[in-house]
Structure formats: structure tokens, C-alpha cells
A = this chain, B = another copy of it.
């Protein structure tokens, strides 16, 4: 019944609906996107997921304050802006996560932790920027162990393009906001990866390590 004049909007609770059957539907757990949420919202959502779900729980883009609070819920693992609980049992699949330098690490590790929560092994390869090609070429044996490769790059974003000419595995490119000026907060890397001359490079959003990991899981879980 309409009574907007009497019930303040500030007292009106929004109707919330959880996507609990997501795991059954697409084999990926619902993640908690912390950005723009209060600490209390993050805590209560993760608590509810821990209580009710049996799948892995992942919280991404958490602020230092949110992380401090979420630590009380005993996460399985935690890196810069990401926390996980209840990892899935290990599989025998491996994902290589490649980046040009240490500035990409927060995004690389968001991807790695999500991959790990799905039960897959990660191989981290850093400092293989295309300016020192020999480092990339020397790393080929490590890439050969991987079933899927996630390649991160900021600035001009050339790393996935070069790598895609060297290896035949599925290759997921992640543009990062690393760089300044002409990097335009990752937009340059994003465009560069989308226009790649290398065949079969696929791209996720800027700094979206979580999305890259989910894409990797879709591939690893495929019934091929």
C-alpha cells in the first residue's frame, strides 16, 4: 500500500535477492565486489555466504579498512585487495600468470588467488616485459607447463601480442592501469590488446584479474 508520505525512504529496506544457484548453473561462485560497499555490508554478505554456501568465497577490490574487518572471518588466503575462503579441492590444471613488472602484481595476484580458490595451480612469471625479449623467450619452458595463460600489461600492453606468437595455449590478456600520462589509466593497453595482430588473443576489462581467472576456469572446466 502506498504511504510514501509516512514511511521514510531511509527506513525502507531494499529487497535483496541472492544468486545462490550460480555455482550449479555456471560452475562459478558469486564473488563479493567490495568497492562502494560499507564494511558492515561486506562482513554480512561474506558471513552469509560462508554459512550457507559450500562453494569458494571470493572478495575483490577491498579497501584496507574492509580487509582489516574481513580478516576476522579467517580467510584461507589474502593478497593486496583480494581475500578468499573455502577453496575448492585441487585439480591438476595449471594457469600461468605473466606480467612485465612488479607494478602489475596486485592485479596478477587477484587473478592468482581466484584461480587458486577454484583449485587450480598457478605459475607466476614476472619481469618479462617485451623490452627484454630474451627473458620472455627464456621463460617459454615454464609457459609450456601451463594449460591456460593469463598475461597482464599496462602502458602499451604489447606483452600478450608478442606471447601469442610464441605459444599456442589459450591466452587471456588483462590490461592494467599501470603507467602514467599516455597510458590513460589502462585505456591504451586495452585498445592495444583489442587490436592485436596476433591470432586468438582475448581480453578482459582493465585491472580485472578476477575476470581473467573466471575465464581461465571456464576453459579448464570445459569438457573437452
Interface residues of A (CB under 8 A from B): 1-6, 8-10, 12-19, 21-22, 25-28, 30-31, 33, 35-37, 41, 61, 76-79, 87-94, 100-103, 105, 108-109, 112-113, 115-116, 119-122, 124-135, 137-139, 142, 147-148, 155-158, 161-162, 164-172, 175, 177-208, 210-211, 214-224
Q: How far, in angstroms, from A201 to B201 measured CA to CA in the complex?
A: 13
For A124, A135, A168, A217, the residue with the greatest tally of chain B CB atoms inside 10 Å of its CB is: A168
- Oligomer: number of copies: 8
Of the residues B9, B139, B219, contact of A112 by C-beta under 8 Å:
B9
Whether A222 pairs with B14 at a CB distance below 8 angstroms is no
**3 shortest interchain CB distances as A-B pairs:** A181-B206, A200-B214, A36-B103
Interface pair A93/B181, CB less than 8 Å apart: no
A161 touches B158 (CB 8 A): yes
Using A17-B132, A147-B224, A182-B194 as known contacts, list a sample of 14 further A-B pairs with CB atoms less than 8 Å apart, ordered by residue number in A.
A5-B89, A5-B116, A8-B77, A17-B128, A41-B102, A61-B180, A131-B161, A158-B158, A180-B207, A182-B191, A182-B208, A191-B191, A194-B205, A200-B218
Whether B12 lies near A112 (C-beta < 8 A) is yes
| Residues of chain B lying within 8 A (CB to CB) of residue A26 | 164-168, 199
CB A144 to nearest CB in B, in angstroms, measures 10
A141 to chain B, nearest CB (A): 12
A-B contact pairs, 25 of them (CB 8 A): A2-B91, A2-B93, A2-B120, A4-B90, A9-B113, A10-B78, A12-B122, A19-B132, A26-B165, A26-B167, A36-B103, A131-B162, A132-B165, A147-B224, A155-B196, A158-B162, A158-B197, A168-B218, A172-B202, A179-B197, A181-B206, A188-B191, A192-B192, A202-B202, A222-B224
